[in-house]
Amino acid sequence: MWSASSKQSLRWLFLIGFGIPMLLNAQNFKIQPRTNSPFSRFGLGDPNPTYFVAQDGMGGIGIAHRDDASANWVNPASFTSLDAASLELGIRIRNTSLNDGQKTTNVISGNLGYFSLAFPMNNRINQALERKRSKIDWGMGIGLVPLNSIGYNIQASQDLGEVGIAKNTFKGAGGVYNIKWANSVRFKNLSVGLEIASLFGKNITNTLVNLDSLRQAYAVELQRDLVYSGINFRLGAQYILDIDKKNKQGEQELGGRSIIFGAYFAPQSNFRTTGSSLDVRVNSATSTSSFVDTVAYTTGIRNSGVLPSQFGFGVSYQRLAKFKVSAEYSMGRWGAYRNDAKPQTLLNNWRAAMGVEYIPDVLSYNRYLRKARYRGGLFYGTDPRAINGVQIQNYGVTVGIGLPIIRPRQTTSYVNMALELGRFGAQGGIQSTYAQFSFGISLNDNTWFFKRKFN
């Protein structure tokens, strides 16, 4: 973070693409970030959404959301809503315009957003053939979801008075990931779930300082590598209040109305870091990279940290396979965040979102687009990070669509797409205006755990 006085002496230049001179250093030029987000320099980096593309188009809701064709990792209690095994992956591509008040730069970035496999443990076909609905529904899922990402390539010039102008180059790359396992059980109208996640990943940060105004001056390079590990948990619950009565099989008819209340809680958890520190001098007066000597090199630096508790609650109203609207509020106690290897102060954050989904006619025979799922949403919230003491805000609107993949005598799969238009930044600091396109596919199969009978 920079103070108001230092902001006057620093001019941010975002180094994107071609036309940038190669920096003369030992390690800096080897780091190639996949994105260029100056915000990711702080805290754990830029957070990755927990929700999938099907929810992207609905403002990122998920606390009270239940979907029979797509996993919902926001609330682990929702896995009991699945009617079939669902294999899902998604990608997100973002075009960002960064503005620091003096210069505007466009950045295009993209990455794999998630990979997930979720399934009901009691097959719906078996229940239909036996004409008996189980009193207990059981759902399970495993997934790989990034927790955060770091990617920046920034140059700042600082006036040091008699010493001259210092050119600082900051680079960072990496990310932290979660391998998740979720289990949920539903009895009557109450569904509860537990998610256990194993945290792992590596972040690299590098700072190069050049004093070009001094003859025969050496450049100084500082690099820190951090490897993260840890375990965290999330508890969730959903209660379904049926407005319309169920049929004789204990199921809701199409268009049946219900209200869903949802909540989740992720308790505070600890993590560990193992790091290395490299401080070197580089000859910046030559025309080629020239390593001079190592000032300090330390490995096996062990530290610990704390991920804060988070909680949220929401409510949804739906007409089965026809219409749903959902609203929610969540909060993270990031003021309790601690990372001994990279000490920084973060702030508590919150997020409010609302989304809708509409299906014109799920049983339409000859009009394909009437079977599609049309989505829209909006959101507003704060980020744990701050610039010049002003907390970052994030808000935007979303639209999306779920296109069914219809196979004979098979459950329906979906291609999901979403567009998000938003703004991210702090008043008086760097502003980010972005358009994000998300693409995901949900391949569903209802033959898992199917009991085949032979006469």
Phi, psi of 50 (to 5 degrees): -80, -30
pLDDT of 52 above 90: yes
More confident position, 157 or 386: 386
| Range with the poorest average pLDDT among 52-66, 248-262, 394-408 | 248-262
Please, what sign has the CA dihedral across residues 73, 75, 79, 81? negative
Residue 30: C-alpha distances to residues 13, 100, 145, 206, 233 (Å): 20, 27, 27, 10, 36
Please, what sign has the CA dihedral across residues 377, 383, 386, 390? positive
24 pLDDT band, cuts 50/70/90, is very low
| Range with the poorest average pLDDT among 69-83, 211-225, 330-344 | 211-225
C-alpha atoms less than 13 angstroms from C-alpha of 144 in its C-beta half-sphere: 10
284 pLDDT band, cuts 50/70/90, is low
How far, in Å, CA of 246 to CA of 6, rounded? 65
Highest mean pLDDT among 102-111, 127-136, 208-217, 361-370: 361-370
pTM over 0.75: yes
282 pLDDT band, cuts 50/70/90, is low
131 pLDDT band, cuts 50/70/90, is low
Q: What is the CA radius of gyration of the chain?
A: 25
125 pLDDT band, cuts 50/70/90, is low
